[in-house]
Structure 1
Amino acid sequence: MPRPPTAETETAEELAAVRPALVPRYTAELPGARAAVLTRLWRALAWEPLPWIAAREPVRDGLVLRMRDGRRLSGPAADPYRTAAYVARVRLDGVPYGDPARLMTDLAVPRGIALAGELGHSVASLALSRAAQPEGTATRIHPDEWPVTDWDWERRVVDGHPYHPACRARPGFSVAEQLAYGPEHGPVVGLGLVPVPAEECLVSGAWPDDLRDGGRLLLPVHPWQAAHVLKIQGETALPARPLMSLRTLAVPGGPHVKTALGTRLTSSVRDISVSSVAASAALSAFGETLAARSGGLLRFTRTLGAATPHSPDLAAVLRESPSAYAGPGERAVPVAALAGTGLPSDPEWLAGLTRLTLTAGLRLLELGVALEAHGQNLLVVLSPSGEPQRLVYRDLADIRVSPARLARHGVPHTGLPARILTDDPVALRRKLFGSLVGGALAATAGSGAALRAALERAVPDLPPGEDLAALREEPLPVKALTLMRLTPDGRGDLWTGMPNPLRG
C-alpha cells in the first residue's frame, strides 16, 4: 500500500512545479529541519506540564519520560535554553523516531493529530526557507557588511520562533505563496489598497492623505488576505518588504504597515481586532510617556494611524520604522537577528546586552509596565562597532499594565484597554521575564550555560527590588507553547516554570 502524502512530499511536488531548481537543496535541508523541529518538541516534552506524562527521569545518557499509559519515551538530556538542533532522534518503547510529525501521531494523545500536521508543515516550510538562502551565507556578519535596511535584517531570521515546534508552520500558504510572501525569501509584496467610505471606518490617530481618495480611506491589504479571506481582486498599489512577522511590511522610505492576515502562524490567528485599532492612539501616547521615564534607555515606535471598517479581517496599522531611532552609523537590530551577527559569542558583549535589557525592563516593571520583550518586538541599537547603546520597542498591544504601580509613580493610564490591566505581580513578571529572559536573551545566548554566565555578570549591577528577587530565586516563567497548541481554544496563555539559570 502506498504511503499517504506528507507535508514534505507535497511541498516537494509544489516546488517542482514553481521552482524546480530549488528541489535538490530543499531535499538536502529536510534532515536538519526535522532535527530543528524535533529539538523544539523535545524541549516541550521534557519541561512542559503535559497531562499524559507521568514522570521524567534523568538517566546517565539522557532523559526518560514515563507516560501514563506505561510507555517510555527516551532522548538526550534537555537544555531548556539551547537553540541549536541537537535531537536527531528519540525512542518510543525502543522504536527510533526522527520525524516529529510521526512521533506526535504515534504518541496518540488528545488533539495530537492536529499538532502533528502543524509539525509536518513546520519541517517542510523550514527546509524550504533554508534552501532559499544564498549559498555560503555567513553565520557571522562583520559590521562592515551589516544590512542597511530594516527588512534585510529581518529576513535573516530564517528559522522562525527559537522554541516553538511550529516555528515555521504556515497553514493555508502554498509553496508559491511562501516564496512570494515569506520575508526570508526576500520578495517585494504588492499590497492592495481597498477603498472604504470614511464614515464607515473606525480611525485612531491620523490617517495619511496619500492613503485617501476623496471621502474614502484606502486600507492596505495583504494579497494573501485579499485572495483567501476577503475574496476580492485588488490591484497592486503599494510595494513593500515583509518583516519577520510576515503580516507587517516595510514601505521603503515610509512606515511599517501591519495588515490583517487571517491564518494561524505559530500560535495565533493574525487578524487585527477592532478594539486594538481603537486603543492604538492611546497606547502610542502611553509609549511616549514611558520613554520619557526610561532614562534614555528605551524608545517606542509611534503608531501613526490605524483604521478598520469595524472588521478584524480588513484593518491596518501604520507605525514608525525602528530605524528612526538609530543615529549615523548605528543599526536598529531585532534581538532575534543578533545571533547571526556572531556578537553574542563574546561573553562580555552578551553580558552588556543582558544588563541593558534587564535594566530597562525592570525599570518599567517597577513603574508598572511589563513589556512583551521577545526577539521580534525588542530591538537594540548598535553602535558602528557593535556595542549595545539603547533599545527600541514596537507593538504595545500585548503589554501588561499595573494601575496600582502607575499610581504610585504618578503615571496616568487613561484610555488603555481593560484587557491589559492587572495588578497581579505574577502576571506582570510572567509577561516580562518569559519574553525577555526565557525568550529573547535565552535565544540570543543559545544555551543555558551562556545565559547563566550573562545573567551572573549583569544581575549584580541591577537595582534591588522584589521583581529582581523573583527573577533570581523563582523558576523562570515561559509560555507552555506546545501545551497551548494541545489545549482547546479559548484558554489563553498557559505557563510553566523552567529551571532558573541563576540557580544552576
Structure 2
Amino acid sequence: MDRVYPMHPRDEVPERADAYAAAPLLNCLLREAAEPTGEPGVHRLRAGGGLLRVRGGRRPRDPELRIDGLWHPLTHAELVKLTADELRQATGVSNPELPVEMLDSRDAVAAILTARTGAAAPDDPYLRSEQSLITGHPCHPAPKARGGGPVASWLPYAPEAHARFALTLLGVREDAVAEEGDLTALDALGTAPRGYRLLPAHPWQLGLVAGRPEIREAFDDGRLLRLGESARAVLPTAAIRTVYAPQDDLFLKFSLEVRITNDIRRLWRHDLLDLRRKDGAAANAFGASQSPAAWLSDQGYRTAGFAFEELAVLVRDGLRPHVLPGATPLLAAALVEDFEGSPLGPPTDPSAWWTAYLRQVVPPVLEAFERHGVVLEAHLQNTLVAVDATGLPVQALFRDAEGVKLLTDVSREAGWERLVYCLVVNNLTEVAALLAEHHPGWNPWPAARAELARHPVPEIPALLASPTLPGKTNLLLRWTGADGADARYLPLPNPLACR
C-alpha cells in the first residue's frame, strides 16, 4: 500500500525550489564568510563588507542585501552570484565550477518537487524516511547537485522522487573477478553462466561507464556479459548510490561517477582493500558493547579486475537481524527534515524523547572510540534510530565502514575532532534545533551535557568547557577544490558550554 503526497500547484515549484536550495547555501555563507552584527537576522560579509539579512532559524530564508540604504530581496541565482563574489575576495581564487553546481542543485530540487507532485511514497516508515531528503545536507552549498547531467539521466534513480528500479545483472568471467568477504547474498540475486560470477550493476553508473575502452572491450571479448535485470526492484536510499532490496533485506552500495556533495562517489580501490579491516574493527566494537546499538556490517565486495572501481558493488547487512523486535528504524537525517510520519510532531514530550535519543546514540559512539579506537562517522545520514510504538527511541544503528577511522591510523586528536564534528555538530545540534523549533523556550543542552559527562572519555571535560566546536567548511572546501576527505574546520559557538 502506498500513500500519495498532497498535490501542489506546479507554478509553486520555482519558488519552493529557490527556498529549499537557498537554506543550506545560506547556512554555509553565514557560517564561513559572515558574522552577526547584533541586529536580529543581519550579518556582515567579511570580505566584501555587505550586509545580508535573513529570516528563520535553522533553515534561513528570504535573503536580502542592503543596497543604498534599502533591503533588496535576492533570488537563488543572485545569492549564488553574491556567494561567488564574496569567496573570490576572501580567497583570491576563482572557481567557475561551484556556482554551476549550486544552480544545478537548485534545478535538481525543482525536478524532484515536480516528480513528487502526486507521486506515491513508500508506506513503510523506514523507506519513506530514506527517500525524504529534499533539502539534504543542511550546511552544503549544493547538496542536491547531480553532476550537471540531464534530468532524465538521474531522476529515475533519485530517492527523493520515490524511485524504484531493477538492477542490471552482469556476468564477469571468473578469471577477471576481484572480490573479498561473504558474498552469499549477492549470488542469490540471479544466476550466472558456468565460469562466470554474478555482478549487479546500478543502471545509472553502467550508463556512465559502459563506453569506456576497458569495459567496452570486456563486453566484446566475453569477459563481461549482460544477463538481464534483477527479478525484484530496489529502492535508492538517502545515499543515492546505496540501494535497499526490501524482500531480500539487503543493502548494496555501488560506485557512481557523479559528484554528490564533496566527492565523486566511487568505491575507491584503497577503501575496498581496507574494507574488511575497518568493518571488522567496528563490528567487534559493537559486539563487545552492552547497549542495544547495532552495526550494519559491510560484508564484502565484488568487481571486475579490469574496472575495479567503476563496476564495484559492496554488500551490506540488512535490517531485520539487527532491529529490536517491534521497533521501527528511521533515518536520523529524515527527522531533521521533519518528514511525513516523523515521531517528532508537536504532541511529543521533547525532554523524554531527547533523553532517549541521547541515551541510544551517544554511548555506542563514545564506547567505540574509547575502548576500541574506532571513530564512527556518526552523522545524520549514517545514523538510524529505531523507535517503539510510542515513537520513543529504543536503539541506534550505524553504518558505512568507508567513513570509519581507526586510531591506529590517525592521531587521537584528529579522531576526536572528527567524532565531535559528526556526532555533536552534524547530528545532535541538528536534532536539538528541530526539537527547539517545535518547542520554543525548551533547552536541550543540560540533558546533552549530562549524557556526555556520564562517560569516562578523557576529552569530554574539555569538550563541555570549550567555547567552540569544530564546524566543517563545506563551502570553502568546494571553492578551493580540496579533497572531500580533507576536512577543515572553523570554530562554532558551543552550546554544551552554556550551563
Shorter-normalised TM-score: what interval? 0.7 to 0.9
User: Within the alignment, does 1:175 sit opposite 2:162 as a pair?
Assistant: no
Equivalent position to 1:74, from 52, 74, 90 = 52
- Equivalent residue number for residue 222 of structure 1: 202
3-state SS of the aligned residue for 1:65?
strand
Shift of residue 261, structure 1, vs aligned partner: 0.6
Q: Which residue of 1 aligns with 2:29?
A: 45
8 A contact 2:13–2:113 mirrored in 1: yes
Matched, 1:497 2:491: yes
**Structure 1 CA distance, aligned partners of 2:162 and 2:436?**
34
Q: Does 2:255 match 1:271?
A: no
Q: Secondary structure at the match of 1:446?
A: helix
Which of 133, 143, 146 lines up with 1:157 in the alignment?
133
Residue in structure 1 matching 2:424, options 412, 437, 444: 437
1:300 corresponds, among 295, 310, 325, to 295
Q: Which blocks of at least 5 consecutive residues in structure 1 are unaligned?
A: 1-21, 139-145, 404-420
The one-letter code of the counterpart of 1:319 is R
3-state SS of 1:472 partner: helix
Aligned to 1:423: 411
The residue that corresponds to 2:222 in the other structure is none
| Contact kept in structure 2, 1:434 and 1:479, CA below 8 Å | yes
- Aligned AA for 2:334? A
Cα offset, 1:226, TM superposition:
1.2
In structure 1, the residue matched to 2:256 is 261
Which of 433, 447, 461 aligns to 1:446? It is 433
In the TM superposition, what whole-angstrom CA distance separates every residue of 1:279-331 from its partner, at most 9, and x where no partner exists?
Answer: 22333332321112221232111223301224211100011123431233211
- What is the CA deviation profile of residues 197-255 of structure 1, one whole-angstrom value per residue up to 9, with x for unaligned ones? 22323211023343543222222211111112223695641231111111111123221
Q: Match of 1:359, as an amino acid?
A: P
Output the CA distance in 2 between the equivalents of 1:344 and 1:458: 21
Whole-Å separation in 2 of the counterparts to 1:206 and 1:149: 29
| Residues 213/378 of structure 1: CA separation in 2 closer, same or farther (3 Å cut) | farther
Cα gap change, 1:253/1:282 in structure 2, threshold over 3 Å: closer, same or farther? farther
Q: For each residue in 1:138-164, what CA deviation from the matched residue of structure 2 results, as whole angstroms up to 9, or x when unmatched?
A: 9xxxxxxx9437433311233222222
Shift of residue 104 of structure 1? 2.8
Q: Please give the residue correspondences for 1:357-368 in structure 2 after superposition, counting only pairs within 5 Å.
A: 357-367=361-371, 368=373
Shift of 1:401: 1.5
| Contact residue 179 and residue 185 of structure 1 kept, 8 A | yes
1:101 and 1:455 map into 2 onto residues whose CA distance is 37
Q: SS at 1:314's partner residue?
A: coil
Equivalent residues of 1:203, 1:277 under 8 A apart: no
Helix, strand or coil at the partner of 1:59: coil
| 1:183 shift after superposition | 0.9
User: Which deviations, in whole Å up to 9, do the C-alpha atoms of 1:355-375 show, x marking residues without a partner?
Assistant: 321222222221222211111
2:311 aligned residue (302, 314, 326): 314
Aligned in 2, Cα 1:127/1:471: closer, same or farther, shift over 3 Å? farther
How far the C-alpha of 1:136 sits from its partner, in A, is: 11
**What SS does structure 2 have at the residue aligned with 1:376?**
helix
Greater than 6 Å deviation, 4+ residue runs: none
Q: 2-side partners of 1:235 and 1:186: how far apart?
A: 26
Supply the RMSD in Å over aligned alpha carbons: 3.0
The answer for the alignment partner of 1:468 in structure 2 is 460
1:458 corresponds to which residue?
448
Alignment TM-score, normalising by the size of structure 1: 0.80
- How far did residue 262 of structure 1 move? 0.5
